[in-house]
């Protein structure tokens, strides 16, 4: 049986413009501690939808893990703005705490 990564790699290969498949692949890669491989898929999602908060949060967190804090900060700040605009209180609190540490 194929792994989750393999399943989503196959779907992305067939539909490379599908941001939901890329988002799922990025999550599967991150779950397997393959952060660097997940980054371009989250970046694709961020570029594709200006109002999609979750890939910004997850990409920002991965970039912090990869010691790329300068790259993470604007993504997390954008995600915070989206959390405020979209009335997502828990992500807003989490993002404020993350940004305070950067």
Matching residue, tokens 């501690």: 33
Q: What is the pLDDT of residues 9-44, one digit of tens each?
A: 999 999 999 999 999 999 999 999 999 999 999 999
CA distance 78 to 96: 11
H or E element that contains 31: helix 19-31
Across the range 85-97, mean pLDDT stands at: 97
Residue 13, domain CATH: 1.25.40.10
The answer to whether 80 and 99 are in contact (CB under 8 A) is yes
Full-model pTM: 0.94
Q: Does residue 80 have a pLDDT over 90?
A: yes
Q: What is the structure's pLDDT at 1?
A: 85
Q: Does residue 91 have a pLDDT over 90?
A: yes
Domain limits for position 38? 4-101
Give the chain's domain count.
1
């Amino acid at each position: 049986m194929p792994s989750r990564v393999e399943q989503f790699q196959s779907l992305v290969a067939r539909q490379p413009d599908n941001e939901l498949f890329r988002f799922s692949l990025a999550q599967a890669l991150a779950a397997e501690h393959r952060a660097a491989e997940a980054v371009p898929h989250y970046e694709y999602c961020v570029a594709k939808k200006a109002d999609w908060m979750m890939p910004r949060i997850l990409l920002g967190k991965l970039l912090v893990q990869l010691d790329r804090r300068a790259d993470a900060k604007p993504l997390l700040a954008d995600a915070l703005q989206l959390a405020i605009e979209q009335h997502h209180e828990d992500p807003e609190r989490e993002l404020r705490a993350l940004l305070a540490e950067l």
